[in-house]
């Protein structure tokens, strides 16, 4: 488990090592992964008008089932109010 203060590069490295995706509101992760030229890790970038836990959970519950194959294959996904954009990796 990484501490909340872990550097972005350490988080990306841990996601690759553990076969996980990154869920974030920080645009830096999309840039780091895109510039790497790799297909992992996938990134879900939340760009919602509300960061309330209930809102985020409701949106994720609605969109995650449809993103499973994209995330497994490598993608940067941007989730906005009423819109989901998918970009396959590598970019």
Q: Is residue 59 part of a domain?
A: yes
The per-residue pLDDT for 1 is 83
DSSP letter at 89?
Answer: S
- At 9 the pLDDT is 95
Confirm whether 76 is domain-assigned.
yes
Residue 83 in tokens = 């819109």
> Which residues constitute the domain of residue 70?
8-88
Give the DSSP letter string of 41-67: S-EEEEE-S---HHHHHHHHHHHGGGG
Helix axes 28-36, 8-18, angle to 10 degrees: 60
Residue 84 has pLDDT above 90, yes or no: yes
The tally of domains found in the chain comes to: 1
Whether 63 is in a domain gets the answer: yes
Tens digits of residue pLDDT in 13-69: 999 999 999 999 999 999 999 999 999 999 999 999 999 999 999 999 999 999 999
**Residue 1, domain member (yes or no):** no
pLDDT tens digit sequence for 11-22? 999 999 999 999
Q: Is residue 3 part of a domain?
A: no
Res 62: pLDDT: 97
For residue 15, tell me if it sits in a domain. Answer: yes
**Is position 58 within any domain?**
yes
């Amino acid at each position: 488990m990484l501490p909340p203060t872990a550097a972005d590069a350490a988080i990306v490295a841990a996601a690759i090592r553990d076969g996980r995706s990154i869920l974030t509101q920080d645009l830096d992760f999309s840039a780091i992964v895109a510039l790497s030229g790799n297909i992992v890790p996938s990134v879900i970038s939340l760009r919602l008008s509300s960061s309330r836990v209930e809102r985020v959970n409701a949106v994720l519950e609605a969109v995650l089932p449809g993103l499973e194959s994209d995330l497994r294959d490598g993608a940067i996904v941007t989730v906005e109010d009423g819109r989901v954009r998918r970009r396959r990796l590598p970019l």
